[in-house]
Chains A and B, each alone.
Chain A
Amino acid sequence: MKSIILKTASNYLLPLLLLFAVFILLRGHYKPGGGFVGGLIASIAFVLHSFANGLQNTRKLLRYPPGAFIPVGLAISLLSGLAPMLIGKPFMSGEWLSVQVPIIGLIGTPLFFDIGVFFVVIGVTLTILFTISESIL
Chain B
Amino acid sequence: MLIVVLSGFLFAFLTLLSGKLVRNSLSWFPALLPLALFIYFMSYIPVVAAGPVRFHYPWVTSMGVDLDFKLDGLAMLFSLLITGIGTCIFVYASYYLKGNKYLDRFFCYLSIFMAAMLGMVLADNLIILFIFWELTSISSYFLIGFNNEEKKSRRNALMALTITGAGGFLLMAGFILIGSISGTYSINSLIASGGSLQQHALYGWMILFIFAGAFTKSAQFPFHFWLPGAMVAPTPVSAYLHSATMVKAGIYLLARFTPILGHTTSWSTTLIIVGGITMLYSAFHSLQRIDLKEILAYSTIAALGTLVFLLGIGTSNALLAAAVFILVHALYKAALFMVAGILDHETGTRNIGMLRGLKKVMWPVALAGMLAAFSSAGIPLTFGFIGKELIYESTFHAPYIAVILTLIALFTNILILYAGFQAGIRPFTGKLSGVHQHLHIPSFRLWLPPLLLALLGVVLGIWPSLVDGPLIRPVYTALGETTILSPLLLWHGFNWVVVLSIVTIIAGCLLYYLFVPSRSYIPLTDKWLHLSPEALTVRLGRAFIHFSNRYTNLFHNGFLRSYVSVIIVFITCLLAMKLITGVDVHFDIKTNISDIRSYDIVIFLIIIAAIWKSISTSSRINAVASLSVVGYCICLLFVIYSAPDLAMTQFTIDTLTVVLFVLVLFRLPPFLKINDRRVILRDSVIATAFGLLIAIIALEVMNEPTTKDISKFYSENAYLLAKGKNVVNVMLVDFRGFDTLVEITVLTIAALGVYSLMKLRVSSTTKE
| Contacts from A to B (Cβ < 8 Å) | 24, 28-37, 40-41, 43-44, 47, 67, 70, 73-74, 77-78, 81, 91-92, 94, 96, 106, 108, 110-111, 113-114, 116-117, 120-121, 123-125, 127-129, 131-137
B761 lies within 8 A of A124 (CB): no
B733 lies within 8 A of A132 (CB): no
Please pick, from A33, A94, A123, the residue contacting B726 in the complex, using a CB distance under 8 A.
Answer: A33
A81 lies within 8 A of B737 (CB): yes
Decide yes or no whether B738 CB sits under 8 A from chain A: yes
Decide yes or no whether B722 CB sits under 8 A from chain A: yes
A13 CA / B734 CA spacing, docked (Å):
33
A136 lies within 8 A of B663 (CB): yes
A136 lies within 8 A of B664 (CB): yes
Residues of the B chain whose Cβ atoms lie less than 8 Å from the Cβ of A137: 663, 666
- Scoring B residues 738 to 768 as 1 if CB is less than 8 Å from chain A, else 0, what string do you get? 1011001101101100110011011000000
Known: A34-B733, A37-B645, A40-B656. A128 touches B725 (CB 8 A): no
Residues of the B chain whose Cβ atoms lie less than 8 Å from the Cβ of A30: 724-726
Residues of the B chain whose Cβ atoms lie less than 8 Å from the Cβ of A127: 751, 754-755
Centre residue among A32, A40, A73, A106 by max chain B CB count within 10 A: A32
Give B643-672 interface residues, CB cut-off 8 Å to A: 644-645, 648-649, 652-653, 655-656, 659-660, 663-664, 666-667
A–B pairs, 21, beta carbons within 8 Å: A30-B724, A31-B725, A32-B726, A33-B645, A33-B648, A33-B729, A35-B732, A36-B649, A67-B751, A74-B748, A94-B721, A94-B722, A110-B724, A110-B737, A117-B733, A117-B744, A120-B747, A124-B748, A127-B751, A131-B755, A137-B666
B656 lies within 8 A of A74 (CB): no
A127 CA / B758 CA spacing, docked (Å):
11
Least CB separation from B722: chain A residue:
A94
Residues of the B chain whose Cβ atoms lie less than 8 Å from the Cβ of A92: 737-738, 741
**Closest Cβ–Cβ distance, residue A105 to chain B (whole Å):** 8
A29 lies within 8 A of B759 (CB): no
Least CB separation from B738: chain A residue:
A92
A70 CA / B750 CA spacing, docked (Å):
12
A24 CA / B648 CA spacing, docked (Å):
10
Decide yes or no whether B151 CB sits under 8 A from chain A: no
Residues of the B chain whose Cβ atoms lie less than 8 Å from the Cβ of A24: 648
Decide yes or no whether B677 CB sits under 8 A from chain A: no
**Closest Cβ–Cβ distance, residue A70 to chain B (whole Å):** 5
**Closest Cβ–Cβ distance, residue B59 to chain A (whole Å):** 14
Least CB separation from B644: chain A residue:
A32
B744 lies within 8 A of A77 (CB): yes
Least CB separation from B753: chain A residue:
A128
A129 lies within 8 A of B659 (CB): yes
A50 CA / B733 CA spacing, docked (Å):
31
**Closest Cβ–Cβ distance, residue A116 to chain B (whole Å):** 7
B748 lies within 8 A of A120 (CB): yes
**Closest Cβ–Cβ distance, residue A43 to chain B (whole Å):** 7
A92 CA / B732 CA spacing, docked (Å):
12
B723 lies within 8 A of A41 (CB): no
A35 CA / B755 CA spacing, docked (Å):
23
Residues of the A chain whose Cβ atoms lie less than 8 Å from the Cβ of B645: 32-34, 37
Centre residue among B644, B653, B722, B726 by max chain A CB count within 10 A: B726
Known: A40-B653, A135-B761. A78 touches B741 (CB 8 A): yes
Least CB separation from B732: chain A residue:
A34
A74 lies within 8 A of B667 (CB): no
A116 CA / B741 CA spacing, docked (Å):
9
A82 CA / B737 CA spacing, docked (Å):
12
A73 lies within 8 A of B663 (CB): no
Least CB separation from A28: chain B residue:
B729
Least CB separation from B719: chain A residue:
A30
Residues of the B chain whose Cβ atoms lie less than 8 Å from the Cβ of A94: 721-723, 734, 737
B729 lies within 8 A of A34 (CB): yes
Decide yes or no whether B478 CB sits under 8 A from chain A: no
Residues of the A chain whose Cβ atoms lie less than 8 Å from the Cβ of B733: 28-29, 34-35, 110-111, 113-114, 117
What interface size band does chain B fall in? 35 or more
Decide yes or no whether B569 CB sits under 8 A from chain A: no
**Chain A's interface: helix, strand, loop or mixed, by majority?**
helix
B751 lies within 8 A of A123 (CB): yes
Least CB separation from A132: chain B residue:
B663
Residues of the A chain whose Cβ atoms lie less than 8 Å from the Cβ of B409: none
A74 lies within 8 A of B745 (CB): yes
Known: A34-B733, A116-B744, A136-B664. A67 touches B755 (CB 8 A): yes
B729 lies within 8 A of A29 (CB): yes
Centre residue among B645, B664, B744, B748 by max chain A CB count within 10 A: B744
Decide yes or no whether B624 CB sits under 8 A from chain A: no
Centre residue among B645, B664, B730, B740 by max chain A CB count within 10 A: B740
Least CB separation from A92: chain B residue:
B737
**Closest Cβ–Cβ distance, residue B715 to chain A (whole Å):** 14
Known: A124-B751, A127-B754, A136-B663. A73 touches B744 (CB 8 A): yes
Residues of the B chain whose Cβ atoms lie less than 8 Å from the Cβ of A31: 725-726
Residues of the B chain whose Cβ atoms lie less than 8 Å from the Cβ of A77: 740-741, 744
A133 lies within 8 A of B655 (CB): no
B663 lies within 8 A of A81 (CB): no
A28 lies within 8 A of B726 (CB): yes
- Scoring B residues 119 to 149 as 1 if CB is less than 8 Å from chain A, else 0, what string do you get? 0000000000000000000000000000000
A47 lies within 8 A of B726 (CB): no
Decide yes or no whether B637 CB sits under 8 A from chain A: no
A40 CA / B655 CA spacing, docked (Å):
10
A94 CA / B740 CA spacing, docked (Å):
14
Residues of the A chain whose Cβ atoms lie less than 8 Å from the Cβ of B754: 127-128, 131-132
Least CB separation from A34: chain B residue:
B729
Residues of the A chain whose Cβ atoms lie less than 8 Å from the Cβ of B660: 128-129, 132
B751 lies within 8 A of A34 (CB): no
Decide yes or no whether B728 CB sits under 8 A from chain A: yes
**Closest Cβ–Cβ distance, residue B736 to chain A (whole Å):** 10
Residues of the B chain whose Cβ atoms lie less than 8 Å from the Cβ of A124: 747-748, 750-751
A110 CA / B747 CA spacing, docked (Å):
19
A44 lies within 8 A of B656 (CB): yes
A34 CA / B748 CA spacing, docked (Å):
19
**Closest Cβ–Cβ distance, residue A37 to chain B (whole Å):** 5
A5 CA / B468 CA spacing, docked (Å):
95
Residues of the A chain whose Cβ atoms lie less than 8 Å from the Cβ of B748: 70, 74, 120, 123-124
Known: A29-B725, A127-B754, A128-B751. A135 touches B740 (CB 8 A): no
Residues of the B chain whose Cβ atoms lie less than 8 Å from the Cβ of A74: 744-745, 748
**Closest Cβ–Cβ distance, residue A104 to chain B (whole Å):** 12
A129 CA / B664 CA spacing, docked (Å):
10
**Closest Cβ–Cβ distance, residue B578 to chain A (whole Å):** 32
Closest 6 CB pairs of A and B: A40-B652, A32-B644, A29-B724, A124-B751, A110-B733, A34-B729
A83 CA / B452 CA spacing, docked (Å):
53
